[in-house]
């Protein structure tokens, strides 16, 4: 069982980045997205407060540790990351490599130790013994020539989450990672990896879904209270939260950028990423 201790939360700090979404940020976007992010911010806070009570810590201890873990992983604060994402930029781990290897052995269509699972190179769909098992609702997009293009795709099979990724050099998709509730692995080598180093922030959130489910189970095991927290109403989501649409950047975030251009949004500015010590 994976419990939501401070140490466990710090392994996936991106899951809680809405805690640092300011009211000014939320109020700047259309109500249909503002309400979603506001609810998720409240649920992320609730999840951490419940965990703090259960494990004898304070909420401030949790948020302080998670904020520092986010900085260590992504070289910026969660609030700064939200601004970068609102600008249509990408947030990824400091040791993240996009996988632009060219044509060669470093790209793979299968997952180490799972030969029955493969990636269809033309669209990134994930196949189980030839059957398409891709959960297209869980897709991370990138913008190419002002159009949103599927970048990372996911499938869950027997509680293992498989991820494919688009290679901008070869213009094909390859196997990237697979994740259990405990660990994430490199698809080619089978070596354990840090999730933030092998997916951008949106992909890292989706790859941690099994971990999140285990967190909820550990918090509410034996409880007769109605469960109100789930992945859909708690975890950040690129498409559902308005950060991207088929036409590229989401309308909600275009509003954010208009306000940002006037210098009215978020302390710390919206220019180049500042170094964080």
pLDDT at 217: 87
pLDDT at 199: 74
pLDDT by residue for the chain (277 residues), tens only, comes to: 678 999 999 999 999 999 999 998 888 877 888 899 999 999 999 999 999 999 999 999 999 999 999 999 999 999 999 988 887 788 988 877 765 443 344 688 999 999 999 999 999 999 999 999 999 999 999 888 877 889 999 999 999 999 999 988 889 999 999 999 888 998 989 999 887 777 789 999 999 999 998 898 888 876 655 568 899 999 999 988 988 755 455 554 555 555 554 444 544 443 444 444 4
Which ranges in 87-243 belong to alpha helices (H)? Answer: 201-207, 209-220, 231-234
| Rounded Cα distance, 52 and 5, in Å | 8
| Rounded Cα distance, 105 and 82, in Å | 36
pLDDT at 103: 39
| Rounded Cα distance, 30 and 255, in Å | 8
pLDDT at 93: 84
| Rounded Cα distance, 10 and 7, in Å | 5
* Token duo for residue 272: 């180049």
Q: Compute φ and ψ for 212, nearest 5 degrees.
A: -60, -45
Query: What's the pTM value of the predicted model, to 2 decimals?
Result: 0.83
169: helix, strand or coil: coil
């Amino acid at each position: 069982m994976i419990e939501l201790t401070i140490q466990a939360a710090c392994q996936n700090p991106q899951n809680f980045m809405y805690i640092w979404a300011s009211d000014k940020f939320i109020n700047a976007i259309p109500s249909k997205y503002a309400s979603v992010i506001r609810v998720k911010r409240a649920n992320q806070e609730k999840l951490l407060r419940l965990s703090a009570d259960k494990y004898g810590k304070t909420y401030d201890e949790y948020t302080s540790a998670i904020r520092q873990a986010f900085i260590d992983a992504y070289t910026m604060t969660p609030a700064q990351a939200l601004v970068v994402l609102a600008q249509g930029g990408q947030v990824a781990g400091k040791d993240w490599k996009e996988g632009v290897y060219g044509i060669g052995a470093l790209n793979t269509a299968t997952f180490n130790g799972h030969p029955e699972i493969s990636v269809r190179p033309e669209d990134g769909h994930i196949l189980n013994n030839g059957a398409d098992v891709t959960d297209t609702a869980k897709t991370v997009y990138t913008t190419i020539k002002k159009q949103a293009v599927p970048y990372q795709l996911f499938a869950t099979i027997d509680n293992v989450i498989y991820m494919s990724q688009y290679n901008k050099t070869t213009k094909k998709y390859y196997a990237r990672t697979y994740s259990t509730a405990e660990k994430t692995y490199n698809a080619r080598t089978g070596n354990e990896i840090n999730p933030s180093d092998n997916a951008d922030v949106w992909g890292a959130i989706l790859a941690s879904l099994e971990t999140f489910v285990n967190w909820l189970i550990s918090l509410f095991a034996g409880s007769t209270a109605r469960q109100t927290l789930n992945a859909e109403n708690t975890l950040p989501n690129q498409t559902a939260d308005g950060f991207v649409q088929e036409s590229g950047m989401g309308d909600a975030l275009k509003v954010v950028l208009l306000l940002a251009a006037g210098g009215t949004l978020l302390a710390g500015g919206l220019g180049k990423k500042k170094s964080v010590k």
